[in-house]
Amino acid sequence: MQSFHGKSVYKGIAMGSILIWKKNNVQIKRLKIEDAEAEVSRVGVAVTESVRQLQALYDKALKEVGESSAAIFEVHQMLLEDEDYLDAVHNMIRAEHVNAEYAVAVTGDNFAGMFADMDDDYMRARAADVRDISDRLARNLAGRGETGFDFANPVIVVADDLSPSETVQMDKGKILGFVTVHGSTNSHTAILARMMNIPALVGVPVDLENLEDGTLAIVDGYQGQVVFEPSGEACRKAETRMEKEREQLWLLQTLKGKENITLDGHKINIYANIGNIGDVGYVLENDAGGIGLFRSEFLYLGRNDFPTEEEQFQAYRQVLLNMAGKKVIIRTLDIGADKQVEYFNFGKEDNPAMGYRAIRICLKQPDIFKTQLRALLRAAVFGNLSVMYPMITSVEEVRAVWGIVAEVHGELESLDIPHKVPEQGIMVETPAAVMVSDELARLVDFFSIGTNDLTQYTLAIDRQNERLDDFYNPHHPAILRMIQMVVVNAHAHGKWVGICGELGSDLELTERFVRMGVDELSVAPGMVLSLRKIVREMKVGK
């Protein structure tokens, strides 16, 4: 039995076998080889295996998401069999007597660099594809096989770190818990774990080299502890606590269908946050009144190219239809910072959290923004849609957004395409937006306070930096006063205010938020009923 402590991201208990998650990118060393021809034939075998895998992925995608999305796997097959690419690999092996893995990695980098420098947007986006196929080839050369996102049985994933795009691709039904060596409690991976109600720990100092797949483990999100090879006694205790958790969950179920109303008659909305269509099931299961934050950028992660207007339209439409008239607030693309997408080709920034992200990208690259807006306006016809814009800092930005929305509206109108301009609000997640919230309130239909970024920017603390977790204090009076200020300014102009950052699910603050006049709290689906319980047991008492 061996135990380690870390920081808890989601309180809950999980017990099961571990799976050690290794990054896709194999560590590649340059090795001198004697027999170049044997190395060249290893490449041939790996290409055949890679093509076979891609064909299987194509067949799966064709069934699940249709031809246009599946086509990317055909493109990858073609790239893998491209003569120039393979000649370059073979030539390098023969000329420099290097191992196949190294030749593939260098050739992949060279070709990706060539594509990235091209003028044409489509060709530039192929850089990510070349990297992807080179990674696949290198994995197969190293005998590592598929990426391993499809776990056969539910497991506790133990990893060095997980990026949002890795997490988003995992089959949530197959994950009992997460344990990572690195990572901050405020990262998007942590948020995803909370969204899925998965016990998770970050900052756990385990040595992955000394662990084996299949080892039994208990993740205790209450104590921030993971135990490997637990004793029979520890397993029995964990079973009892899991049983208790199930009972408490069952008690909360009795609140389903009830109103979010205080003992003295004050009502608020409790909505849920989601990252993709699959999460709508959790929203309905937990009886949320609506979706207060659909992080649409997750549609852009874990893939090799921009989602098309049609793909986005189908996704938004599906969510609206599934929610059957309940409010759905979709946030426009909030990419950048920790949500990096290779095919955007942004390059490295010194300060990505303060960099080219969210609305800034949309205003600078209106084509990307307009594609999403067209999909949103078209989908609006199918339900109760609201749209909100992230990372706003000024009145000018909102005016610029309105200008682009008007253009999209005009274009759809002239083409006679059914659409609707929905209710539109902004995220208040920068101190600047708070300070001009009186002026912003005149322009928008609502505010949704993003406490994750608001805390980061107000306290000057990178939310990704695990060493600063102890300083990251969303209960800081500066944050709470800012929230109050935003509520006052919104209400003065007859606008409503929600909180969609993680602080909205902090049960210690629920009563305070209700008394402040916050109109809506949007939280991880699994938290909805816990909040409802507090609201129904409190009095505003004015």
- Which residues sit at the interface with ligand PEP, rule CB under 6 A? 191, 293, 295, 334, 429, 450-453, 500-501
User: Judged by CB under 5 A, does residue 502 bind Mg ion?
Assistant: no
Query: Do 359 and 397 meet the contact criterion of CB atoms below 8 Å apart?
Result: yes
Q: In the chain, what is the straight-line distance between the N-terminal and C-terminal CA atoms, in Å?
A: 54
Partner interacting with residue 451 (select from ligand PEP, Mg ion, none; CB below 5-8 Å by kind): ligand PEP
Count of residues near Mg ion by CB under 5 A: 3
**CA neighbours within 13 Å on the CB side: how many for 151?**
21
Long-range contacts formed by 65-70: CB under 8 A, 24+ apart: 68/308, 68/310, 68/311, 69/311
State how far the alpha carbon of 314 is from the alpha carbons of 82, 430, 530, in Å: 33, 32, 32
Q: Is 450 in the site for Mg ion (CB under 5 A)?
A: yes
Region binding Mg ion by CB under 5 A among candidate stretches 205-213, 220-228, 444-452, 464-472: 444-452
Nearest distance from residue 354's CB to Mg ion, in Å?
13
Determine the interface stretch with Mg ion among 20-28, 37-45, 231-239, 452-460 (rule: CB under 5 A). Answer: 452-460
User: What does residue 252 show for φ and ψ, rounded to 5 degrees?
Assistant: -65, -30
If contact means CB under 5 to 8 A according to the sort of partner, which of ligand PEP, Mg ion, none does residue 197 touch?
A: none
Amino acid at 291: I
- Within 180-255, residue ranges assigned H as helices are 188-195, 232-253
Nearer to ligand PEP (CB atom), residue 101 or residue 334: 334
CB of 78 to Mg ion, least distance (A): 38
**Of 341, 346, 344, 352, whose CA–CA distance to 302 is shortest?**
341
Least distance (Å) from ligand PEP to the CB of residue 461? 13
Tokens at 241, concatenated? 């606590």
Tokens of 540: 């505003």
Residue closer to Mg ion by CB (options 218, 521) is 521
Residue 331's DSSP bridge partners are 295, 388
| Identity of the residue, 107 or 165, whose beta carbon is nearer to Mg ion in the bound complex | 165
Q: What is the DSSP secondary-structure string of 239-292?
A: HHHHHHHHHHHHHHHTTTT---B-TTS-B-EEEEEESSGGGHHHHHHTT-SEEE
- Residue 332 DSSP SS3: coil
Pick 26 or 433: Cβ nearer ligand PEP: 433
DSSP 8-state code for residue 381: G
Residue 148 one-letter amino acid: G
Question: Residue 411's CB: how many other CB atoms inside 10 A?
Answer: 15
CB closer to Mg ion out of 199 and 336: 336
- Min CB(486)–ligand PEP separation in Å: 13
| Nearest-CB residue for Mg ion | 453
Q: What residue 501 binds from ligand PEP, Mg ion, none (CB within 5 to 8 A, per partner kind)?
A: ligand PEP
- Residue 500 interacting partner from Mg ion, ligand PEP, none (CB closer than 5 to 8 Å by kind): ligand PEP
- Under the binding rule (CB under 5 A), the answer on residue 453 touching Mg ion is yes
Minimum separation from the CB atom of position 454 to ligand PEP (A): 6
Residues between 403 and 432 that touch Mg ion (CB under 5 A): 429
Task: Report in angstroms how near the CB of residue 158 gets to ligand PEP at its nearest.
Answer: 25
Question: In angstroms, what is the minimal distance from the CB of 456 to ligand PEP?
Answer: 8
Residue 207: CB atoms within 10 Å: 8
With tokens 């030539």, the residue in question is: 91
For Mg ion, which is the closer residue by CB, 429 or 502? Answer: 429
Nearest to 424 by CA among 330, 307, 297: 330
Looking at the annotation, which residues are catalytic?
188, 500
Q: Which is nearer to Mg ion, 306 or 457 (CB)?
A: 457
Cα 379 to Cα 37, 165, 276, 290, 405, distances in angstroms = 56, 25, 15, 16, 14
Using CB under 5 A as the criterion, which residues of the chain lie in contact with Mg ion when the complex forms? 429, 450, 453
